[in-house]
Amino acid sequence: MARILAFLFLILGLLPAAGPARAGEIVGGLSQNRVSLTANFSGSEILIFGAIRHDGAAEEAAPFDVIIVIEGPRQPVAIWRKDRRLGIWMNVESVSMASVPSFYAVATTGPLSQILEPAEDAQYRISAAHAIRATQAVGNVDDPVLFTSALLRIRERAEQYQALDRWVYLDRDILFRANVRLPANLTEGAYTTRMYLVREGAVVHQFRTAIFVRKEGIERWLHQLAYDQPFLYGLLALLIALTAGWGASEAFRYLRH
């Protein structure tokens, strides 16, 4: 922790003291910026920390709030609606979206609806509802908002989308920190981390960094083999299935005798 504090104060000292007046500045860092996906990976906890440089405003000025957003790699997704037809539940309508975050977490010093104005939320696309825009939904449906709302609920239940109100601890209106847990079912790629400094509902400054998630070991080798040599990957999968089947058969035969 002492090393982290020293890092923060060093960066704050390097921020420009001269120039146009600012409402405040935020700077941050991560306890680790690389996560390795291995066979026994069960999730990872990331410490996000930072500091606020004040603008020398009067003491009666409104205090700052901090919002931290972690956004996973975007990917296409299809959303289906089921309905009962002739006594059978089946997929009847769908929409497709070309760019949806695979993971999304919003950690704040207070309830997001109380510390951020809706117009600012829409401009910076901070909340998960603005990260998934119904306007990009493609499909012959009457109300695409119903499909995007369903996707939000599904991913919130799976903890792929997290709303962490009051999760950011702000010490003396200068230092802040938050622990965010990344689930086991992570998608490989860059996870953008955005830190927003907010005062009276408006964003006054932001800082960006990234967490890189990458498969390692045999998982990395199999992933590359599937893309680079799909024929060999298929043969390997068939060989593994045959070996597993033969091994199970021999084990049952041994137990019977």
In the chain, the DSSP E strands lie at: 25-30, 34-37, 44-53, 64-71, 74-85, 88-101, 104-108, 161-164, 169-171, 175-182, 189-199, 202-215
**DSSP at 173:** T
- Determine which of 37-41, 81-85, 155-159, 221-225 has the lowest per-residue pLDDT on average: 221-225
**What CATH fold (topology level) applies to the domain 2-216?**
Immunoglobulin-like (2.60.40)
**Helix-then-strand count for the chain, H and E:** 7, 12
Domain positions in the chain = 2-216, 217-257
Tell me whether strands 34-37 and 202-215 are parallel, antiparallel or unpaired.
parallel
pLDDT tens figures, 90-145: 777 888 888 889 999 999 999 999 999 999 999 999 998 888 877 777 777 777 78
What are the distances in angstroms from CA 118 to CA 12, 113, 132? 30, 8, 16
Residue 88: pLDDT band with limits 50, 70, 90:
confident
Give the percent of the chain with pLDDT over 90.
25
- State the pLDDT at residue 196: 95
Quick check: 20 pLDDT over 60? no
Could you tell me the pTM of the whole model? 0.74
Residue 185: pLDDT band with limits 50, 70, 90:
confident
Instruction: Fill in the amino acid letter for 157.
Output: R
Residue 37: pLDDT band with limits 50, 70, 90:
low
Closest CA to 63 of 167, 163, 169, 197: 197
Is 40 or 150 the better-scoring residue by pLDDT? Answer: 150
